[in-house]
């Protein structure tokens, strides 16, 4: 019986392939869940189908790995292109909510800069507030002992808010101070930079957040 190969029937091969697919899907779903958890204070930005889209993006990242099928890594650090430019709400895109001649992070002065800023606000809103979300997102690898996908390093999130801006005004320059250092990235962890806008109605001294019409997108991944 030396060197005897085990031949699988068609049904057995299909079952094995299904198990492999489900194993990797579980890992991608776990990564998607972490992404949403790190967006906890802005979770209402997402639309109802966002979970499925995020899982699909992580599956594309998973397919970039060269490990054995069913146990491939989910390495955002080597497949960043799949997240750059992603809108977090399919019905409300950032570029439709704001007009901006230039929008970029300047690491020298540690500010997110918005040049030539205008708002396309939902009816009833009076003010807008831009925000920047910094996310430290780990790669995931399969652990054969626990039979689960696990983070390779810690994750973190930080939120930076701008001031309330009157939507009737145009702004030559708007700045949001950031503390991040995009040149410092741990092995196995990427920094995701997300820019978003929320709309409010001002009544007296209070600002009431709109539940719809807000938007955010992934500006860059370092």
CA 218, distance to chain mean position in Å, is 6
Q: What is the pLDDT of residue 1?
A: 44
Quick count: other Cβ atoms within 10 Å of Cβ 218?
21
pTM reported for the whole predicted model: 0.89
Q: Which residues of 178-200 are buried (b: 16+ CB within 10 A; e: fewer)?
A: bebeeeeeeebbbbbbbbbbbbb
SS3 assignment, position 62:
helix
The label of the residue with tokens 């539940």 reads 211
CB 35 within 8 A of CB 56: no
pLDDT digits (tens, 9 = 90+) for 149-161: 999 999 999 999 9
CA 179, distance to chain mean position in Å, is 19
Average pLDDT score over the chain? 91
Distance CA 111, CA 203 (A): 30
Distance CA 198, CA 73 (A): 35
pLDDT digits (tens, 9 = 90+) for 110-134: 999 999 999 999 999 999 999 999 9
Helices 10-38, 50-63: axis angle to 10 degrees equals: 120
Q: Which two tokens stand for residue 22?
A: 């489900």
Domain boundaries, the chain: 10-221
Measuring CA to CA, which residue among 31, 16, 70 is closest to residue 192? 31
Instruction: Return the sign of the alpha-carbon dihedral for residues 108, 109, 110, 111.
Output: negative
Q: Which residues of the chain have a pLDDT value below 70? A: 1-14, 16, 182-184
Instruction: Return the sign of the alpha-carbon dihedral for residues 115, 201, 87, 142.
Output: positive
CB 76 within 8 A of CB 83: yes
Q: What is the pLDDT of residue 7?
A: 56
Q: What is the pLDDT of residue 5?
A: 52
């Amino acid at each position: 019986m030396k060197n005897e190969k085990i031949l699988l029937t068609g049904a057995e091969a299909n079952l094995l392939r299904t198990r492999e697919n489900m194993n990797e899907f579980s890992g991608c779903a776990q990564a998607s869940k972490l992404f949403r958890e790190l967006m906890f204070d802005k979770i209402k930005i997402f639309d109802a189908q966002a979970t499925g889209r995020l899982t699909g993006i992580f599956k594309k990242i998973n397919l970039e790995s060269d490990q054995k099928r069913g146990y491939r890594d989910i390495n955002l650090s080597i497949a960043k292109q799949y997240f750059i430019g992603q809108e977090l709400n399919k019905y409300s895109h950032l570029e439709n909510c704001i007009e901006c001649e230039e929008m970029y992070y300047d690491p020298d002065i540690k500010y997110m800069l918005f040049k030539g800023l205008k708002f396309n606000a939902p009816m009833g809103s009076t003010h807008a507030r831009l925000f920047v979300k910094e996310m430290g997102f780990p790669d995931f690898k399969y652990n054969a002992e626990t039979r689960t996908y696990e983070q390779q390093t810690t994750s973190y999130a930080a939120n930076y808010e701008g001031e309330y801006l009157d939507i009737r005004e145009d702004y030559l320059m708007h700045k949001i101070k950031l503390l991040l250092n995009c040149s410092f990235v741990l092995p196995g962890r990427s920094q995701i930079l997300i820019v978003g806008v929320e709309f409010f109605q001002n009544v007296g001294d209070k600002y009431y957040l709109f539940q719809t019409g807000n938007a955010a997108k992934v500006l860059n991944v370092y």
